Amino acid sequence: MRRLWVAALVAIAASMASPAYAMRCGIALVAEGQWTYEVLERCGEPIARHVRTVFQGVNTGYAIAGYSALWSIVVEEWIYDLGPHRLRRLLRFEDGQLVAIETLDRGLILAP
């Protein structure tokens, strides 16, 4: 019996720590690899959006500044509140493509 409890606790902890690769919005499914317009069509507007530009470079050792190539990536993070009985989701897009779905805390619970 004790093994069953330990196995159940390990399974719960693993499911909470692992990243989500898909998210359900009503009857629609959103998965990594989709574009921003597809997510908007399926899930509507998020409750929050954060946009930033990240610069990345490749260092080959030949350039004066240390980088032989430098480019920018637009990173957008959207937060969806799926209701009081579901966990919030953070969706991260890079250059308009969904690259990660993370699970956050519980959604808002509104008093009657």
The residue to which tokens 């959207």 are assigned: 78
Q: What is the pTM of this model?
A: 0.68
Mean pLDDT, residues 3-31 taken together: 65
Please give the pLDDT value at position 14.
45
pLDDT tens, 73-112? 999 999 998 877 778 899 999 999 999 999 887 655 555 5
Phi first, then psi: give them for residue 16, nearest 5 degrees: -75, -30
pLDDT at residue 87, rounded to an integer: 84
Using CA atoms, how far apart are residues 102 and 112, in angstroms rounded to an integer? 29
pLDDT in tens, 19-55: 567 888 888 899 999 999 999 999 999 999 999 999 8
Question: What integer pLDDT is reported at residue 22 of this predicted model?
Answer: 86
- At 51 the pLDDT is 96
Which stretches of the chain are assigned E, i.e. beta strand?
Answer: 22-25, 28-31, 48-58, 69-80, 87-94, 97-106
Domain definitions of the chain by residue range: 20-106
Task: Give me the residue label for tokens 């908007």.
Answer: 40
